[in-house]
Amino acid sequence: MTNKAINIENERLNSLLLKITCTYWLLVKVIGWRMFTTNRIFPAAPVFEWMDQVPVMLHMVIFVLSLLLIGLIFFLPKNKLALAALLITETCSCMLDQNRWQPWEYQCIFTVFIFLVNRNRQASIIPVLTFILASIYFYSGCNKLNEGFLQNIWVQLVMRSFFKVAVARQSWLYYCGYLLALFELACGAALLFAKTKKTAAWLLILMHLFILAWLGPSGLNYNPIIWPWNMAMMIYLYLVILKGKGNVFALKDILPGLNKLVLICWGVLPALGVMGYWDAYLSSGIYSGKAPYMIICVGNVEKAKDLKPFISESNSKICESGTTIRLSDWAAKETMVLPNPEPRVYKLIQKKLEKKYAGVGLRCTILITGNNYSLK
């Protein structure tokens, strides 16, 4: 195949990739529409306090505008004004609520960014997307190399809940959980090399099939908003890694122009995230088992009737009243989207809840792999 033919095929492939991004982005935003509007009880956590004064209707306007722009880009993938407008719209939306900083949202924003800044360098798009895919799997594996992953994900959600197998602590099966982390890490790195990328891609596709079986309707039926993301990742792996012609990643592909921002945000900052100095969700830290979660103790339930659907009875010593709300369960039930698990976000939510439900006797506690501390 000649270079000209390869370029034509890659341009078609690029257009298809953007359309796939638009399709699953629309799907997850529609599924989690309450998180992208304020039609909910769950509090928003804006970047700046003054953003709380933004009219409720503006959230909806931004959301609808985002959907329209995504639809427009599906049909006009090379329209730079639409691409730029979508980036601005999504940035504004995420500034208004940090809970919208989801891993799939972050990936979609950067995918659009890559298509915008490389619209005159079509040959660079697939190598840069390859770098993002490699980063996602590599840092996802790195984030799983901790005790919390073994306890909370491997033992509780995989072995006990899915396979119905009890795993004793300190047994060989307990530590086998680390093999999953090393597998993902190694496959992510292998995507960057011509000799190993195809094998790694097929292995990762099998991993996504397992995730869909594990968390999907036939498994735990949990967190449905990530099901389309897993399906899209399999398509990405097939089209970017297995089908792309004449595109082998090289560092020079990610250095020209604004592609350097991809190198920083996907190559450098996630390394800080593994050490706790950058957001977990922006460091491919989903299902790492180490993200903190928040428990809300409710003193007087009758004074917070709108919270009743999210309250559960618990024998936990954390709440003397026995009535608790797990923040992630609340968000998932009401918005279909899990909250951003950063302590600063939790503190903003706590402040709003205490103001709105004064006299209810709310007390918020963060738990981190068995340890906990009350928010001040």
Give the distance from CA 264 to its chain's centroid. Answer: 18
Q: Output the pLDDT for position 3.
A: 61
Q: Output the pLDDT for position 376.
A: 37
Q: What is the mean pLDDT of residues 9-36?
A: 93
The pLDDT > 90 percentage for the chain reads 72
Do 20 and 235 form a contact (C-beta atoms < 8 A)?
yes
Phi, psi dihedrals of residue 99, rounded to the nearest 5° = -70, -15
Q: What is the mean pLDDT of residues 371-376?
A: 39
Phi, psi dihedrals of residue 250, rounded to the nearest 5° = -140, 145
Q: What is the DSSP letter of 314?
A: -
Distance CA 113, CA 134 (A): 18
**Which strands make up the sheet holding 363-368, listed edge to edge?**
312-313, 323-326, 293-297, 363-368, 371-374
Distance CA 321, CA 115 (A): 53
* The token pair that represents 348 in the structure block: 């903003």
Q: Output the pLDDT for position 211.
A: 97
At 44-59, the pLDDT tens digits run 999 999 999 999 999 9
Q: What is the mean pLDDT of residues 115-130?
A: 91
Domain boundaries, the chain: 3-283, 293-374
At 141-174, the pLDDT tens digits run 999 999 999 999 999 999 999 999 998 888 899 9
H or E element, residue 293: strand 293-297
Q: Output the pLDDT for position 168.
A: 86
Q: Which residue's entry shows tokens 């719209």? A: 89
What are the residues whose beta carbons fall under 8 Å from the beta carbon of 278, sequence distance 6 or more? Answer: 269, 270, 272
At 324-348, the pLDDT tens digits run 899 999 999 999 999 999 999 999 9
Beta bridge partners, 323, equal: 313
Q: Output the pLDDT for position 316.
A: 64
Weakest-pLDDT range from 6-15, 51-60, 311-320: 311-320
At 55-72, the pLDDT tens digits run 999 999 999 999 999 999
Beta strand extents in 321-369 (DSSP E only) = 323-326, 363-368
Whether the per-residue pLDDT at 373 is higher than 50: the answer is: no
Distance CA 191, CA 111 (A): 18
Judged on CB neighbours under 10 Å (0-12, 13-18, 19+), 94 is: buried
Q: Which of 292, 272, 244, 11 is nearest to 131 (CA)?
A: 244
Q: Output the pLDDT for position 7.
A: 66
This prediction's pTM:
0.93
Q: What is the mean pLDDT of residues 242-262?
A: 82
What are the residues whose beta carbons fall under 8 Å from the beta carbon of 154, sequence distance 6 or more? Answer: 167, 174, 176, 177, 180, 289
Do 141 and 188 form a contact (C-beta atoms < 8 A)?
yes
Do 11 and 122 form a contact (C-beta atoms < 8 A)?
yes
Whether the per-residue pLDDT at 78 is higher than 70: the answer is: yes
Do 99 and 331 form a contact (C-beta atoms < 8 A)?
yes
Distance CA 359, CA 349 (A): 17
At 349-367, the pLDDT tens digits run 999 998 888 878 788 888 7
Cα of first residue to Cα of last residue in the chain, in angstroms, is: 64
